[in-house]
Structure 1
């Protein structure tokens, strides 16, 4: 497959922290958060002008699903746009609850586990050919995903328990996976979910739904996470020999690997041999490099992905994490945690460590520790602010462009409509509902003809653009709170 569309669904943790006493319960806080969403679309489950979906998921978790993207940088920008939109909903909520007599702050965290041990997801979606043999796919992809945490994990301070002291681990999600492959998502949490909803022509495509990944704050980590996975999928689809890394006990392996920062924890391959996470990843990387050398790079970021992949494995292998501690989330966070522990003479079991771990994922651009590190040159960035702003307004050049144009035009003319990943309908014309199965299409004459019933084509485009810009302002809620000094003093840099 020369072309692929990607998407990522991110669940956010929402928390109200008052000056004293208990905060608002999650369901009540969620109702506040989504008032602007309901005002916009008369539902808590809507599509917005950039083609993305915004909704409340199980457990009152706000969730943002990017539109389908055909370019990795578009995907990363779309994901970051979701952070900004969610942050601004939190800012709006904080003001509204203050008006209603509730003091304190509202936090939205882009992470995967809370202090009570609950886990929530970051789900990747890859469009793959229907002809891909699923047994071969799972046999190669599972060991890759199980070991991928050493190159793309978010990192986590693991509290002490009766079995082990407090320590740092590669992944937030690893301890919460229960099956290798399953059709469930919440009950058993498999690494690969087999629910086959391609939102495309099912005769040609299927949807690969990966739910094992950690949410990333770092754009460079995101590039490696999605880019390395895409390369492995391309090798599988091309039928090239990759090697046998299939694991005997996938769930035991994913947890064992997460808690060993040396990358040398041995896991058993089917057939009795043992291997390590670094060895499995290195084998896949070597094959990917040969594949690119033989077939050519399919996009401009391939060389950077391969170089970062190689350097990350070297950092794990040698223990020299300075090789990647401005680019890979777990290493960026680990450096911060260790510096604060040294400065204050505290261990990982100190309650402050968990607070810092959580604050790293705060999406408030002035308060979140990741953003503070980025401002101080401690975290690299591959996106510009203009790219993120554009991703909040403009859909990528996929079917999302049609979706965004359709809903913005309908709103501009006050027409009732329904839209989802595939369907487009003006409510007063139910017999003219359209289904768009091609995720790569950027225009569709049928949709344009339907919209022309609202006005002429030039008028439609002008008013649609005006509506999209107006909607982006109303959803992004342009006012900002100042940084919270009590949170900023968590960090003192040497």
Structure 2
């Protein structure tokens, strides 16, 4: 075990039309997805999503929520009313979710790859904005953030594939303290305290104020720290997909890498039974909010055993357990991805203990706070000034010339881990070491024959066949370039590909 596992990031983007605050967000989001799909030559109204294996009401605690008791937002297995739901050639899904355009990255196997294809999503959304900003168009703005500052929140969800054999109770017990304290590293920063930002101030993360319970199935109401949706999109008796809804949308490469990498390591500890410290926290929801509200990082976390420590100290405990575990497994021969995450994790915690402002090049909330303090000093602004909220929104604007973060990135003021050329390439091409390769390449090579797709299937509509042909893809680490690259290269039509697949299965 290491930091490497199948993982991915889903990001709902904030959306607005300048000068039209009452514009219908679902219609707008549909326009965003459709405009991009048509520009790419995709049949946006036809080649859609295969919902056959979706099970959004299955709970990891061992039951299915009755459909009549579910909130409509939980019924993600229903057809999109905007018909804006497409699969991209890089293996990602672009669609409308809860009145927001969402980019769900393809499956990858490392934190660096997760950052790469997440940033590719930013370029997809930037292109969509440009397409809707031409002559005669009112224009649409998109924001990679998690709240509009007026009481609405939308998600950035992480997904990690893990062993089905791991007791879910262990996941809950050991992940809650980690998720409660993790915002000191991967929070995106926010102006305003409370769901509607009524209390002046600055906090570490955008999501904590919107959480109410420790464990639950919901994602848009009574939000839980641990989401229990049991929908693996893979072989059910082998895999569990941990659906994480507690995180922020990150712009900084380092923060995003640490978010994915440290979480993967903690999951590895839990799977291996290597969590040697009980870090159970009293009142986790209230504690997570208190931590987020304190940029000084001095808030004390009260553990169930009576100990008190800061969030940074709790994260040091997880780091130390990971270090011991990895040393026992690999000695000094740990893989490069894991070594990078451990090194950057230690570096970030050291700097945060010494002076958080040392992390302005690596962590979102620190970079944003430093920027806000410059505006405050220059213009004499109090935290209650609406100008600061406007600056907060502008920070996450996806446009290269308008987004404050994008301008900082272009100016070399934040650390960039991923080569921009690799990000541009990831807009079109899928990762090569998961089933996303097969999905993306089929869309690229046989777009007219792909009727629908999902994470674990592709449906072909081939001329001359009496019925649709469904190709299951339940193993996320099959369908890779190594596995099907030759077969794809030698197939000159979808029909040839299907025949070759049938022969290979015999």
Q: Normalized against structure 1, the TM-score is what?
A: 0.85
Counterpart of 2:91 in structure 1 is 51
Structure 1, residues 375-423: CA drift from partner, whole Å, max 9, x if none? Answer: 2221110111110011111110210001112222222xx3252211111
Q: Which stretch of the first structure deviates more once superposed, 441-450 or 355-364?
A: 441-450
Cα displacement (A) at 1:91: 1.2
Counterpart of 1:88 in structure 2 is 127
Counterpart of 1:230 in structure 2 is 264
Aligned equivalents of 1:341 and 1:419: distance in 2? 49
Cα displacement (A) at 1:176: 0.6
Aligned equivalents of 2:485 and 2:367: distance in 1? 48
Query: Do structure 1's residue 324 and structure 2's residue 325 form an aligned pair?
Result: no
Q: What aligned pairs does 1:471-482 form with structure 2 within 5 A after superposition? A: none
Structure 1's 163 and 88: CA in aligned 2 closer, same or farther, altered over 3 A?
Answer: closer
SS in 2 for 1:14: strand
Aligned equivalents of 1:16 and 1:203: distance in 2? 46
Aligned equivalents of 1:90 and 1:364: distance in 2? 8
Aligned equivalents of 1:298 and 1:197: distance in 2? 31
Aligned equivalents of 1:314 and 1:153: distance in 2? 17
Contact persistence 1:261–1:316 (CA under 8 A): no
Q: Which stretch of the first structure deviates more once superposed, 119-128 or 159-168?
A: 159-168
Q: What aligned pairs does 1:296-311 form with structure 2 within 5 A after superposition? A: 296=330, 298-311=334-347
Cα displacement (A) at 1:266: 2.2
Aligned equivalents of 2:195 and 2:8: distance in 1? 37
Aligned equivalents of 1:214 and 1:243: distance in 2? 27
Which of these residues, 376, 390, 413, is aligned with residue 411 of structure 2?
Answer: 376
Contact persistence 1:156–1:169 (CA under 8 A): yes
Structure 1's 22 and 229: CA in aligned 2 closer, same or farther, altered over 3 A?
Answer: closer
Aligned equivalents of 1:240 and 1:159: distance in 2? 37
Query: Do structure 1's residue 173 and structure 2's residue 207 form an aligned pair?
Result: yes
Contact persistence 2:150–2:197 (CA under 8 A): no
SS in 1 for 2:236: coil
Q: What aligned pairs does 1:68-467 form with structure 2 within 5 A after superposition? A: 68-95=107-134, 98-99=135-136, 102=138, 105-158=139-192, 166-296=200-330, 298-318=334-354, 320-397=355-432, 398-411=434-447, 414-428=448-462, 429=465, 430=467, 432-441=469-478, 442=480, 443-444=483-484, 454=494
Aligned equivalents of 1:189 and 1:5: distance in 2? 25
Structure 1's 25 and 402: CA in aligned 2 closer, same or farther, altered over 3 A?
Answer: same
Contact persistence 1:11–1:62 (CA under 8 A): yes
Counterpart of 1:466 in structure 2 is none
Structure 1, residues 209-263: CA drift from partner, whole Å, max 9, x if none? Answer: 1100010011111111111111111111111133001112111111111112232
SS in 1 for 2:17: strand
Contact persistence 2:443–2:450 (CA under 8 A): no
In structure 1, runs of 5+ residues without a counterpart are 461-494
The number of residues matched between the two structures is 447
Query: Do structure 1's residue 27 and structure 2's residue 26 form an aligned pair?
Result: yes
CA RMSD of aligned residues (A): 2.6
Aligned equivalents of 1:8 and 1:162: distance in 2? 26
SS in 1 for 2:226: strand
In structure 2, runs of 5+ residues without a counterpart are 46-82, 501-506
Aligned equivalents of 1:444 and 1:35: distance in 2? 30
Q: Which stretch of the first structure deviates more once superposed, 347-356 or 331-340?
A: 347-356
Structure 1's 82 and 281: CA in aligned 2 closer, same or farther, altered over 3 A?
Answer: same
